Amino acid sequence: MDTQRSSFTAVVTGASSAIGQQVALQLAERGWRVIAIGRDQEALAELGRSSALITPRAADLLTDDLAALLPARVDALVHAAGISPDGGVERTDAEDWSRVFALNVTAGAQLVRYALPSLRRSRGTIVFVNSGAGTAARPRNTPYAASKHALRALANGLRGEEEAHGVRVSTVYPGPTDTPMFTGDVDRSDLIRPSSVAAAILTAITASEDVQLTDIHVRPRRELSW
């Protein structure tokens, strides 16, 4: 795919910080138009000022009209938005369970649903930003891990559904990354940089037409425990 043509358009959720923000910046650097979706209006405005190719769209993915967020053309959709309840099953009530699945899984699925006609026309790419918790649950984040396991199933099932239409579906599994969501008691200099995860996401989006990168695991150089 020729990534230097500004006619390509990507939609990125979670774009007001961390991984989503870096994806938006790196795509714009390659000449893509980017619809940057997030909740922090000030951060989005700053992101928009960084490039004329970035269009900020402040939105709450749990309550707003998701179809209205999408442009007429979509070549790539990156669902990087996510939340993690603070605590395990004992401390997570039904409302928190609903919120974590609604944002981490359902919002991404619905955005894909609305974008599919355009993605099929462009033979585009969907990238779900998952987590190491999406393959191995830990006691400290069971609700989050459960949602990420569901997101992994969504990606794998969707890939089979869309194979005949030429839409690629990739999952990126970042390990411990220096984002506001990560609160582990470790030396933060050992954490993965959000820009490094974003680079892996761009690799999936810009892969040659004959392949799709189905699962990309991004791990720190030194494995961490906390």
Q: What amino acid positions are annotated as catalytic residues?
A: 144
Cβ atoms 120, 166 nearer than 8 A: yes
Q: How many Cβ atoms from other residues are within 10 Å of residue 179's Cβ? A: 20
DSSP state string for 187-205: -GGGSBPHHHHHHHHHHHH
Cα-only R_g, the chain? 17
Q: List all residues 6 or more positions away from 185 whose beta carbon is below 8 Å from its beta carbon.
A: 226
Continuous segment of H or E residues that includes residue 109: helix 107-122
Look at the block and give the residue holding tokens 């442009």.
71
Q: List all residues 6 or more positions away from 92 whose beta carbon is below 8 Å from its beta carbon.
A: 85, 142, 143
Q: How many Cβ atoms from other residues are within 10 Å of residue 60's Cβ? A: 11
Cβ atoms 169, 158 nearer than 8 A: yes
How far, in Å, CA of 94 to CA of 21, rounded? 30
Lookup: tokens for 226: 């906390």
